[in-house]
């Protein structure tokens, strides 16, 4: 009897843990933490590198900054194909950076390579998350965009739970903290959660934002139901949202 | 009192009947142990069948297992991560039976269990904690059976409203007689442990 139940439980546990949504949630957690580590290590690198090449970190993102730092002969900067090339050249021409000893440079180069390695790992994970969402939840992927889709699954805790949420919950997803704050201080409750970052919403005026967020949330709710049934109705839903936006803009 | 529970120098221990091993039971990690410190004796008999809702990784269940020299404890939890660890514990222990399930849907695991219990322990931080206990005791608890419920007050009411909490306790009164109830401070903040008897 006990053996039977143990076997049932084992199978169920494995089945649950092997589901794509759980993989997505775990990978997304790793990506978030990895990004923090990358930022932290970059700060360490800059303690020294910023004195050698002041202000360059203001111009380049972390990945390009590291590539620039590792380039041995800075006069070859055009090989890196940065659009910020002219700006950087100007700063280099001021020639106010210090020169550091070879053995210290070896250390900072190593640190820099470590950072690039972590960035590479992070990009591989991002790609895997993207593929997992696309392969399994195509409507959510297309309507919500991959980043927001991932975040929504993460907040809900599972795809199954997310797919059962009504549109009103989806619209507010991610605003839970500010939602309770608003209730507590009798402020207006927020009208949008992470959906606020959606490319179709982010540039609208506040008044329009709320309207489109509502429509978008309802389409996502429909899309999720279609994902459960493995049907792709995303094109149709996106067209409906776009119609709504042009109506509002008239 | 169950003879596997040993109180000594302000500390709580359990003794395993088979291995003779004595282990300390930390009231900061287990609400049942915290309850003992606060004067709620769980009154679990050595041959009871216990249903444990919200078993997690099995810290408390491992002590319940010691207490049940002739009984069994069925542990339910919804988290597959916790269940992996509970499974490992269950492999090592004769009388722990782990089940992955949602305590809001007791009919689902009733298909596997198909048994009545003498005792239910519940430690789940959900808004409808009282309702979950009632649903489960309707199906599983024998008449006059006992239930030990840990109520996380902040899960019921964000602002710790006395009325909301009283409402939950009143729901329980319909089906149970309250034997004892205590807050678990300083071991757990915002928790109340309630010992109940099914009417
Ligand atoms: C505070 S922990 C329990 C700790 C455990 N009683 C101990 O002392 O070792 C609460 C547990 O309830 C589980 N849980 C939450 N909602 C549940 C539900 N609807 N059904 C079953 N378990 C649930 C969580 O996964 C978590 O493991």
pLDDT for A73: 94
Question: Ligand 1: does its nearest atom lie under 6 Å from the Cβ of B13?
Answer: no
Q: What is the dihedral of CA A22, A26, A27, A32, to 10 degrees?
A: 140
CB contact (8 A) between residue A5 and residue B99: yes
Report angle CA B133, B139, B141 to the nearest 5 degrees.
Answer: 70
pLDDT for A183: 58
If you search the block for the tokens 């910023």, which residue do you land on? A50
Domains of chain A, earliest start first? 15-130 (1.10.287.4070), 138-249 (1.10.246.90)
- Give me B132's structure tokens: 């979950």
Which residues of chain B, if any, have pLDDT below 70?
158-161
Q: Does the CB of B32 have a partner CB in chain A at under 8 Å?
A: no
CB contact (8 A) between residue B90 and residue A16: no
Please give the Cα distance from A188 to A205 (Å, whole number).
17
pLDDT for A131: 97
pLDDT for A180: 58
pLDDT for A10: 95
Say how many C-beta atoms besides its own lie within 10 A of residue B135's C-beta.
17
Q: Does the CB of B165 have a partner CB in chain A at under 8 Å?
A: no
Secondary structure letter of residue A165 according to DSSP? S
pLDDT for A191: 60
Average pLDDT over residues A122-138: 97
pLDDT for A249: 81
pLDDT for A189: 63
Average pLDDT over residues A160-164: 95
Residue of B nearest to A8 (CA): B99
ipTM of the complex: 0.86
Question: Ligand 1: does its nearest atom lie under 6 Å from the Cβ of B2?
Answer: no
Average pLDDT over residues A142-155: 96
pLDDT confidence bin for A234, thresholds 50/70/90: very high
Q: Does the CB of B84 have a partner CB in chain A at under 8 Å?
A: yes
pLDDT for B182: 94
pLDDT for A178: 55
Contacts B71 to A, Cβ<8 Å: none
Sorted by sequence, the CB contacts under 8 Å of residue B9 that are 6+ apart come out as none
Please count the residue pairs, one from chain A and one from chain B, whose beta carbons lie less than 8 angstroms apart.
Answer: 33
What is the torsional sign of CA A22, A25, A28, A32?
Answer: negative
Which of A5, A16, A22 is the closest to B112 by Cβ? A5
If you search the block for the tokens 């900067």, which residue do you land on? A77
CB contact (8 A) between residue A12 and residue B100: yes
pLDDT in tens, A202-216: 888 888 888 899 999
pLDDT for A188: 64
Asked if B11 and B24 touch (Cβ cutoff 8 Å), the reply is: yes
Residue of B nearest to A11 (CA): B100
The alpha carbon of residue B152 and the mean position of all alpha carbons in its chain are separated, in whole angstroms, by: 13
Q: Does the CB of A44 have a partner CB in chain B at under 8 Å?
A: no
pLDDT in tens, A72-125: 999 999 999 999 999 999 999 998 999 999 999 999 999 999 999 999 999 999
Which residue, among A140, A221, A157, has the nearest Cα to A25 in the 3D structure? A157
pLDDT for B90: 96
Report chain A's mean pLDDT, rounded to a whole number. Answer: 92
- Give me B93's structure tokens: 């222990």
pTM of the complete model: 0.77
Question: Ligand 1: does its nearest atom lie under 6 Å from the Cβ of B103?
Answer: yes
Residue of A nearest to B83 (CA): A13
Chain A residues 163-192 with a CB less than 8 Å from chain B: 180, 184
CATH classification number, B29-198, choose in 3.30.230.10, 3.40.50.620, 3.40.50.300, 3.40.50.150: 3.40.50.150
- Spell A210-245 as b/e; 16+ CB within 10 A means b: bbbbbbbbbbbbbbbebbeeeeebbeebbeebeebb
The whole-angstrom distance between A178's CA and the closest CA on chain B is: 14
CB contact (8 A) between residue A13 and residue B87: yes
pLDDT in tens, A38-77: 999 999 999 999 999 999 999 999 999 999 999 999 999 9
């Amino acid at each position: 009897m006990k053996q039977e139940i143990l076997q049932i439980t084992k199978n169920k546990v494995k089945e649950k843990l092997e589901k794509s949504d759980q993989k997505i949630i775990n990978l997304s957690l790793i990506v978030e933490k990895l990004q923090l580590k990358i930022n932290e290590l970059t700060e360490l690198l800059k303690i020294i590198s910023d004195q050698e090449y002041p202000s360059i970190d203001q111009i380049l993102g972390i990945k390009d900054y590291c590539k620039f730092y590792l380039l041995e002969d800075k006069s070859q900067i055009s090989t890196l194909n940065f659009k910020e090339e002219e700006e950087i050249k100007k700063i280099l021409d001021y020639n106010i950076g210090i020169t550091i000893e070879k053995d210290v440079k070896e250390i900072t180069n190593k640190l820099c390579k470590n950072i690039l390695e972590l960035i590479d790992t992070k990009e591989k994970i991002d790609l895997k998350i993207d593929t997992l969402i696309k392969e399994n939840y195509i409507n959510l992927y297309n309507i919500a965009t991959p980043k927001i889709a991932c975040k929504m699954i993460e907040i809900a805790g599972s795809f199954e739970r997310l797919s059962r949420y009504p549109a009103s919950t989806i619209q507010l997803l991610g605003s839970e903290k500010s939602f309770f704050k608003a209730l507590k201080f009798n402020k207006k409750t927020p009208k949008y959660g992470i959906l606020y970052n959606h490319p179709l919403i982010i540039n609208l005026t506040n008044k329009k934002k709320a309207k489109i967020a509502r429509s978008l949330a309802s389409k996502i709710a429909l899309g999720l139901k279609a994902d459960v049934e493995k049907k792709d109705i995303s094109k149709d839903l996106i067209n409906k949202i776009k119609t709504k936006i042009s109506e509002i803009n008239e | 009192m169950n003879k596997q529970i040993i109180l000594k120098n302000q500390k709580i221990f359990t003794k395993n009947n088979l291995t003779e091993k004595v282990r300390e039971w930390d009231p900061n990690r287990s609400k049942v142990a915290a309850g003992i410190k606060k004067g709620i004796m769980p009154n679990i008999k050595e041959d009871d069948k216990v249903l444990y809702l919200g078993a997690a990784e099995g810290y408390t269940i491992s002590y319940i297992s010691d207490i049940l020299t002739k009984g069994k404890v069925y542990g339910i939890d919804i988290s597959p991560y916790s269940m992996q660890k509970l499974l490992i514990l269950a492999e090592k222990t004769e009388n722990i039976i782990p089940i992955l399930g949602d305590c809001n849907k007791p009919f689902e695991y009733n298909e596997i269990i198909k048994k009545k219990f003498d005792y239910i322990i519940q430690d789940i931080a959900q808004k409808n904690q009282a309702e979950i206990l009632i649903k489960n005791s309707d199906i599983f608890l024998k008449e006059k059976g006992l239930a030990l419920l840990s109520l996380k007050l902040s899960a019921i009411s964000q602002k710790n409203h006395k009325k909301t909490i009283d409402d939950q306790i009143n729901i329980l009164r319909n089906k149970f007689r309250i034997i004892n109830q205590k807050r678990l401070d300083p071991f757990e903040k915002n928790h109340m442990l309630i010992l109940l008897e099914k009417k």
